[in-house]
A and B are shown apart, each in its own frame.
Chain A
């Protein structure tokens, strides 16, 4: 078991170039989900019309099935859907399929986190916003959004960390991120010293997680600033 430890150091520099791919797989769903999640949340806290039930079904499906299954579904299903319109997307990189699947998955989780936070915002705040003559947009921007974000941030932090760790599953459809590169090095060594190569990948993921956590702690610090001015 203790053989091959030199592989730990020698595979680290080979894995580092794939960090940008991992970050892309992390940042793209984050950006899309913040928008899509907010929209879904807006629909789900509103009137119960057809759109409400469609998004509820969407959220229920993507929260109720494993991310791994969704990745496979998109990887094999999306080309068939595009085939109906005569578009061939079989040449797309696996990373793209991973990102699309994860966007759907993550935005449903984000929408639930935001919905919970929105419901925790005191409704009197919104009425107060209207009472001083805010328009709907102003009320959203100045009253609802800051408070919702503040409440949702701890939840969002956990979700983002899960998202980053979830990127490690992308290799099952052939996307080459840090984990995929590690698997590739393992097969180059014909399975020799897998443990050390995996530990190198684990170390990289850990460092990325620490950075993400620090970023979110900073965001929480900013969002809570109004609570600190009290004497």
Chain B
């Protein structure tokens, strides 16, 4: 095939310079998704009457709508919300310089938060009830039992699932290229604007994504293996 190989080589550092942005987007979204998931999970686990049903319904709806649609919805709707919030608590709405990065983070956090809520709920429930009883029996308070006994075990159980979602999220951040976030894919497209070597740019982007994903997958597998030592053969029914 007549590809512009010289251009591909010199395009690699250009596209690679967008890697921090992709990773930043991934980790920011992951952080807020986990925060959302924990909040939702607490509400569901505490059996708060109306809120629980509402959140379960909301999660179903969020999971049933494509991420692309959610991303575009956030992209279009958040500016309206920000404009409505103008003057509230001294916030000044600046329509000239919207932070598309933040909009994308909101969309990813909502979508993956819905998925991770299930992880939070199921891994909390996977910790045996007897563990908490045992904590009480040695005189721990409810707070101590939760933070020293139950949550560490729940975290260990949830790590394989979370690393799975992390890999999905890492790849899903490429969708943010359609809402003006200059991560790897958008940068690759931009870098080819001068010479129409569009395919070459995408090949470079694909190779970089591939390398990053393989590295992360290997690292997470190592982590999972390390962590599996702390699992005392839990049978998840």
A interface vs B, CB < 8 Å? Answer: 1, 60-61, 63-70, 72-73, 76-77, 80-81, 83-84, 161, 165-169, 172, 179, 194-195, 198-199, 201-202, 205-206, 209-210
Residues of chain B within 8 A of A1, CB atoms compared: 77, 80-81, 84
Known: A1-B81, A168-B66, A169-B175. A198 touches B209 (CB 8 A): no
Contact at B174–A198, with CB atoms within 8 Å?
no
In whole Å, how far is B101's beta carbon from the nearest beta carbon of chain A? Answer: 18
Partner of B174, one of A60, A61, A66: A66
Known: A69-B185, A80-B1. A64 touches B65 (CB 8 A): no
Say yes or no for B158: interface residue by CB 8 A criterion.
no
Contact at B210–A65, with CB atoms within 8 Å?
yes
Contact at B206–A202, with CB atoms within 8 Å?
no
* Bound Cα distance A60, B172 (Å): 17
Residues of chain B within 8 A of A65, CB atoms compared: 171, 206, 209-210, 213
Contacts A/B (CB < 8 Å), 25 sampled: A1-B77, A60-B210, A63-B213, A65-B171, A66-B171, A66-B172, A66-B209, A68-B174, A69-B174, A70-B206, A76-B198, A76-B199, A80-B3, A80-B199, A83-B1, A168-B69, A169-B175, A194-B76, A198-B72, A202-B66, A202-B69, A205-B64, A205-B65, A205-B69, A209-B65
Say yes or no for B214: interface residue by CB 8 A criterion.
yes
* Bound Cα distance A64, B170 (Å): 10
Residues of chain B within 8 A of A70, CB atoms compared: 206
In whole Å, how far is A129's beta carbon from the nearest beta carbon of chain B? Answer: 28
* Bound Cα distance A167, B174 (Å): 15
Contact at B69–A76, with CB atoms within 8 Å?
no
Known: A69-B205, A72-B202, A194-B72. A167 touches B66 (CB 8 A): yes
Say yes or no for B177: interface residue by CB 8 A criterion.
yes
B interface vs A, CB < 8 Å? Answer: 1-3, 61, 63-70, 72-73, 76-77, 80-81, 84, 171-175, 177-178, 185, 198-199, 202-203, 205-206, 209-210, 213-214, 217
Residues of chain B within 8 A of A168, CB atoms compared: 66-69
Contact at B73–A199, with CB atoms within 8 Å?
yes
In whole Å, how far is B168's beta carbon from the nearest beta carbon of chain A? Answer: 9
Contact at A64–B66, with CB atoms within 8 Å?
no
Contact at A195–B69, with CB atoms within 8 Å?
no
Residue of B nearest to A63 (CB): B213
Residue of B nearest to A213 (CB): B64
Residue among A65, A67, A179, A206 with most chain B CB within 10 A: A65
Residues of chain A within 8 A of B77, CB atoms compared: 1, 195
In whole Å, how far is A13's beta carbon from the nearest beta carbon of chain B? Answer: 19
Residue of A nearest to B217 (CB): A64
Contact at B73–A73, with CB atoms within 8 Å?
no
Contact at A73–B199, with CB atoms within 8 Å?
yes
Residues of chain A within 8 A of B64, CB atoms compared: 161, 205-206, 209-210
Contact at B206–A198, with CB atoms within 8 Å?
no
Residues of chain B within 8 A of A210, CB atoms compared: 64
Contact at A64–B73, with CB atoms within 8 Å?
no
Known: A166-B66, A206-B64. A195 touches B73 (CB 8 A): yes
* Bound Cα distance A210, B65 (Å): 10
Residue of A nearest to B65 (CB): A202
Residue among B61, B68, B174 with most chain A CB within 10 A: B68
Partner of A64, one of B76, B172, B174, B209: B209
Residues of chain A within 8 A of B61, CB atoms compared: 206
In whole Å, how far is A26's beta carbon from the nearest beta carbon of chain B? Answer: 12
Residues of chain B within 8 A of A199, CB atoms compared: 73
Residues of chain A within 8 A of B217, CB atoms compared: 64
Residue among A68, A165, A168, A206 with most chain B CB within 10 A: A68
Residue among B173, B202, B203, B205 with most chain A CB within 10 A: B202
Residues of chain B within 8 A of A209, CB atoms compared: 63-65
Residue among B3, B173, B213 with most chain A CB within 10 A: B213
- A sample of 16 more A-B contacts (CB under 8 A), given A205-B69, A206-B64, is A61-B210, A65-B206, A66-B171, A66-B209, A70-B206, A73-B203, A73-B206, A76-B198, A76-B202, A77-B203, A165-B66, A165-B68, A179-B66, A179-B68, A202-B70, A205-B65
